[in-house]
Amino acid sequence: MSGMQAVWPSGTECIAKYNFHGTAEQDLPFSKGDVLTIVAVTKDPNWYKAKNKVGREGIIPANYVQKREGVKAGIKLSLMPWFHGKITREQAERLLYPPETGLFLVRESTNYPGDYTLCVSCEGKVEHYRIIYSSSKLSIDEEVYFENLMQLVEHYTTDADGLCTRLIKPKVMEGTVAAQDEFSRSGWALNMKDLKLLQIIGKGEFGDVMLGDYRGNKVAVKCIKNDATAQAFLAEASVMTQLRHSNLVQLLGVIVEEKSGLYIVTEYMAKGSLVDYLRSRGRSVLGADCLLKFSLDVCEAMEYLEANNFVHRDLAARNVLVSEDNIAKVSDFGLTKEASSTQDTGKLPVKWTAPEALREKKFSTKSDVWSFGILLWEIYSFGRVPYPRIPLKDVVPRVEKGYKMDAPDGCPAIVYEVMKKLLDAGSRASAVLLTSSVNS
């Protein structure tokens, strides 16, 4: 092994770049794509002691693995970095100057709203091809049809197929980074060949959630196929690369497939959402200790998010998942952002969102603590919808006048007091108060 590298601390996660078979008894063999955790530095900094996913430990070569890093905050990832949105024909031609055959971009059509235009530099001039959107399909020549823009661009990258030239070099929109490049750079890109999709375990507006097998391990996979929706989920995936806690659902990696879309691979939570688990098991199965443990699990996760300056913004029992061994883990980071940034409130669940957050469109740990108070009520009511029998339009006005829900049947008085204090205070002190109160 030649060359020196920065020393990685114990606990650092890395992904294998190559296969390593090992030659000595103390070596830890691994395959390209395996995820390993550094245990310690050896006397030779070119070798580490590490462990694999099943806990086996051994020595590995440092230059065979890549450190996993969080996608940097503020980077705008794009599945379609060549898509420039609403720009004019003239602006497109300026962007494709100086002329370079095969340089291209896609824009929204100015003459045909709802359609797109492929702009290609070819032998000193720019050709503009209308992309017709019809019956949920896209086509340039009305002979070959595509599910989305990514498929269309991928096709014409490999074959000109009637265009003046094949697409060679994308003109990347300023300020964006190709998602595949960034996930690869930071060590989170997985290979589709290693993933088997087994069965649908959930459905959403974005696509399906499937049970999968990744290298012999059960995983959950969000399969996101629509261009615009997939773009939105990139933000969730990039946030998840920065979060590591035993009570947060763990991202395992991301697969970007131009032909079929985006796949977000996470640990598999066998017992599903907390709200469904509470409703299906009920009081006869789940005792006080179990409810308390779920509450503390979520509290630990939210305390970690706060310590790392993240606000979840969508905390509710439906967004907490339960593992095979009854550990509750917070999931669904689609609305999670750095603290105190503003938010379009149109997407927010009114019954779980603090009134001031809805009113001022500003979020902080205080608004998450409010949501946590509502989630506690969900847990101790075994999954009932908050504010029962109150019309949705009346919830915020009544809450702003001081209304509080009654304690769920059978809820311990001390837990109900904590719920009320969480809704009153909405501060870190309340989160700490929960931990101290319920432990007592």
222 among the known binding-site residues?
A: yes
Output the DSSP codes for 344-406: -GGGS-GGGS-HHHHHH-B--HHHHHHHHHHHHHHHHTTSPPSSTTS-HHHHHHHHHTT--PP
Distance CA 369, CA 176 (A): 34
Q: Where are the beta strands (DSSP E) in 206-309?
A: 207-214, 217-224, 251-257, 261-267
Going by DSSP bridges, is the β-strand pair 76-78/176-178 parallel, antiparallel, or unpaired?
parallel
Establish whether the linkage from the previous residue to 98 is cis, with ω within 30° of 0. Answer: yes
Nearby residues of 252 by Cβ (< 8 Å), 6 or more positions away: 35, 190, 214, 219, 265, 266, 267
Is 115 part of the annotated catalytic residue set? no
Tokens of 169: 């070099």
Rounded to the nearest 10 degrees, how much is the dihedral formed by the CA atoms of 346, 351, 355, 361?
Answer: -20
Nearby residues of 216 by Cβ (< 8 Å), 6 or more positions away: none
Please state whether 387 falls in left (phi above 0), alpha (psi between -120 and 50) or beta. Answer: left
Identified catalytic residue from 34, 194, 314, 368: 314
Tokens of 283: 């009081």
Nearby residues of 228 by Cβ (< 8 Å), 6 or more positions away: none
Output the DSSP codes for 129-161: EEEEEETTEEESSSSS-BSSHHHHHHHHHH--T
Angle subtended by helix axes 274-281 and 365-380, to nearest 10: 20
Distance CA 183, CA 282 (A): 41
Distance CA 82, CA 147 (A): 17
Q: Which residues pair with 402 in a beta bridge?
A: none
**Rounded to whole angstroms, what are the CA distances from 317 to 69, 250, 275, 314, 322?**
29, 17, 5, 10, 10
Going by DSSP bridges, is the β-strand pair 125-134/137-139 parallel, antiparallel, or unpaired?
antiparallel
**Rounded to whole angstroms, what are the CA distances from 78 to 26, 159, 162, 174, 235?**
43, 23, 28, 11, 9
The catalytic site residues sit at: 314
Instruction: Please enumerate, by residue number, every residue annotated as part of a binding site.
Output: 222
Binding-site members for ATP are 222
